Structure 1
Amino acid sequence: MVRIKHKGRTAYFRAETEDDRVMSDVGGKAYINGNVADLFGGISYSDSFFVYGNASIVDVPAADSVTIHAGGAAKDVLEEHLRSEEFFVHRIQEVAEVRGSLVEFTVNEMSPSAYSTLRVTDDTDIEFTEEPVEPTPTAPGDGGASGGGRSGGGGGRPGEEDDGATVSIDPTVPSVNFEDDVAGLDNVKETARMLLALFDQDVREDVVDMYGEEFADRGGGMLLYGPPGCGKTHVSEAIAYEAKYNAGIEEQYGEVTFLEVRGSDIQSKYAGESEKNVAAVFDRAHSIAQDGFAVLFFDEIETLIPDRSADNLQRHERAVTNAFLQEMNDVEDNLFVIGATNMPFTIDPAASRRFPIQQFIPQPTEEVMAEVWEKQLTSLPNADEIDFERLGEESVGYTPAEVADRILGSDVQRELVRSVVDGDPQEVTTEYLLARVEQTDPKTIRQFVTSVRDQVDELEGYPQLREYVEAQADELGVNVHGGTGGSALGDLLTSEED
């Protein structure tokens, strides 16, 4: 299974590799059929094209219904094949190998329509039509849904016959959950669960009856802030997962979907385009939420809502903040907005008030780092022999992202793959992992503290972050108002140069 992301759209496919070797992601090739290109509204060579090999079948929503034109193919045989294979369908012309023969068919309609890819199951209602309907490739990001408001154009430049928006997002099924994927952060998890409980009408009515409307106010959103790499994105998706599977929201609202967009993806160098992108994202979220419940997540949100009183702010940057504030005024009950930032002190105060629930996501303690290691290595056949507590102690100062990406996802993965290719599999032991930790220096926190040390006085409204930065600066020997109190900054500069 592969997940393809291009021009803001995400689709899933089953694919055959050219050979069975494990290849690095450098220099690899993906051959795309023309029909798949249609799914993305054509391939743009100026936009990134990502192919991920770590997709799971649980990422692909089950189809409630599909309408198919199969031409002269035996419909009962094709239907049996689609169900038995849990075939992935898209609103394009498909080809399936059925009993040794290639069968072409066209997917005219599919439901739920918000997704680019759906999975046929035994419960899917399959209807065959006699007349072919050429599926019109939808604009990037509309996910196949009808309508789509201002996000329908996408990809154009100002002056072309579209709305000028150049950003689009696809809904995904949340797969990250609090229990299995988010270590520590018990207070954050509890806050999220209690907030989601207010979307249960019975719970909300009881709170209103006992304590009044003010204590039943859900607000329009939540802000997650803290040092980078410590789990803000994971927490946001886990909140969507909690809403979908554990909070009973789907029973009352309908399908729960997760939409993620980076603030930097919305920004544009063209005048007026960033504001249109903000509107397009919210229009997309509103459209999807009409038939269910949507969690809209903005990463790097500080780039969208900078403080309008800042002297160095440009006019178009103030316009983007204004556009975002206007959209947040119209957030309905079935749309929940989450923002994540490393630098909350740069956010416009009025925009900050749009996020009444604000949660600090701290750097993990050694106990939490032990959990991080355990969650990352749970699939090892000898996981019960690994001393996770010792790994947690020795990796204090690292972020969970550094463990997952720089140590396990880079160094260890490369060595394990090489050992398999060479026919001499490496045993993963506590000592082996500790050696990998010793060969790597943590740098995310050092870089963050160094970059924000001069803004400590601006953290008055964020006492937890202020205390954290001051403590880390003291430990690293970095003066919070500039300069150094030791050699830590010199070590940092050496690390960055390396």
Structure 2
Amino acid sequence: METTRRTIPSMLRETMLPDEEFGDLYHRLVGTSNIIQKIESHMRMCLSQQSFNAWSLRHYSKLSESVLKRSLLFLGAPGTGKTITAKGCADHYARTENSPVVFLEVGEPRSKFVGESSKNVKAVFDYARSIAEQRKVVLFVDEFDSVGVSRDTNQMHDDVAAMVNTLNQHMTSLQTNPNVFIIACSNLERRIDHATKRRFDFTIEFKRPDADQRKDLLTRLLENYNFDEDEIIRAAKKTKDYTQDDITRVVNLAVENAFAENAPVTNEHLAEAIEDIKPTGEYA
């Protein structure tokens, strides 16, 4: 019997996990071990039904009803590691649980055509639901504030309000599906609809790395360039308020400038790059 081939919506990117690229992201995570542990535990509780059932039967006389919404909201400034954490943790789950996972990354579902935005949101959730009939699914929505935009304004277009209503309805309907887990990211929390925020189990805030975390990140990024510990500590002090992405860009610029001079990367190259690249602004 032939099966009907599903057509992936144009705003979705599909990746089968485990994946080497995603796995590499997991090892690049710095200073977020407590956050990662919390995410991995929650993901396993939501997606590993067998593990949850075993725990429930062990501690209770009957199977406990799960009230989990199977969704997390990541908040933080751009470059603080929200996206690579989502991808890295999803890949780590697939590897450690020996369970293939389909990672669906949502692009921009909003459309300039009336009624199309709601249709696009529905198409995303319908596709995720169809995949979940056979496999685990992690649905990842970056810049979530553009989709779950607050309706607390008199200037909102009816089409946008309809899109948010559709989003809320489908998020609620997927909460009973044990094969779907939703991760949404935003750096503009104030723009997210209040009713939409209530559909997440909890939110996780991604902060800028502290001095020790910056030192750890710089040590990893500069490990092949013969920098001593004192130089790295000085660079960590100079990059206060920088995000992980900012610091990565600093090192990349220092390497690029050294290459242009046909010289080894020095502390001067690093200092110049720090001067040229300013820390990313705060989110609201």
Task: Say whether the fold is shared (TM-score over 0.5).
Answer: yes
Q: Is residue 401 from structure 1 mapped to residue 245 from structure 2 by the alignment? A: yes
Aligned residues of 2:128 and 2:137 also touching (Cα < 8 A): yes
Structure 2 distance, partners of 1:249, 1:309, is 44
Provide Cα deviations, 1:56-100, integer angstroms capped at 9, x if missing partner: xxxxxxxxxxxxxxxxxxxxxxxxxxxxxxxxxxxxxxxxxxxxx
* TM-score, reference length from structure 2: 0.84
Which moves more between the two structures, 427-436 or 360-369?
A: 427-436
SS in 1 for 2:14: coil
Provide Cα deviations, 1:272-299, integer angstroms capped at 9, x if missing partner: 1111111222233233333321211101
Query: 1:176 and 1:375, CA in 2 relative to 1: closer, same or farther beyond 3 A?
Result: farther
Alignment of 1:9-408 (within 5 A): 147-148=5-6, 151=8, 154=10, 167-173=11-17, 174=19, 175-176=22-23, 180-198=27-45, 199-209=47-57, 210=59, 213=64, 216-246=66-96, 248=97, 250=99, 255-262=100-107, 265-331=108-174, 332-378=177-223, 380=224, 382=226, 387-405=231-249, 407-408=250-251
Question: Which of 425, 434, 437 is matched with 2:271 structurally?
Answer: 434
Query: 1:289 and 1:366, CA in 2 relative to 1: closer, same or farther beyond 3 A?
Result: same
1:208 Cα deviation after fit: 2.2
- Matched with 1:23 is none
Question: Which of 254, 257, 264 is matched with 1:415 structurally?
Answer: 257
Query: 1:249 and 1:316, CA in 2 relative to 1: closer, same or farther beyond 3 A?
Result: farther
* Larger-gyration structure (1/2): 1
1:431 Cα deviation after fit: 4.4
Aligned residues of 2:16 and 2:101 also touching (Cα < 8 A): no
1:200 Cα deviation after fit: 3.1
1:385 Cα deviation after fit: 6.4
SS in 2 for 1:294: strand
Structure 2 distance, partners of 1:430, 1:196, is 42
Aligned residues of 1:148 and 1:283 also touching (Cα < 8 A): no
Aligned residues of 1:278 and 1:320 also touching (Cα < 8 A): yes
SS in 2 for 1:291: coil
RMSD: 2.6
1:260 Cα deviation after fit: 1.5
1:235 Cα deviation after fit: 1.1
* TM-score, reference length from structure 1: 0.50
Aligned residues of 1:301 and 1:339 also touching (Cα < 8 A): yes
Aligned residues of 2:73 and 2:185 also touching (Cα < 8 A): yes
Query: 1:184 and 1:177, CA in 2 relative to 1: closer, same or farther beyond 3 A?
Result: farther
Structure 2 distance, partners of 1:367, 1:414, is 26
SS in 1 for 2:256: helix
SS in 1 for 2:5: coil
Aligned residues of 1:240 and 1:257 also touching (Cα < 8 A): no
Structure 2 distance, partners of 1:190, 1:383, is 31
Aligned residues of 2:128 and 2:139 also touching (Cα < 8 A): yes
Provide Cα deviations, 1:142-164, integer angstroms capped at 9, x if missing partner: xxx95326x46x5xxxxxxxxxx
Query: 1:387 and 1:256, CA in 2 relative to 1: closer, same or farther beyond 3 A?
Result: farther
1:381 Cα deviation after fit: 5.3
Structure 2 distance, partners of 1:208, 1:436, is 54
* Higher fraction of helix: 2
Aligned residues of 2:137 and 2:180 also touching (Cα < 8 A): yes
- Matched with 1:72 is none
Instruction: Please tell me the residue identity of whatever aligns with 1:433.
Output: L
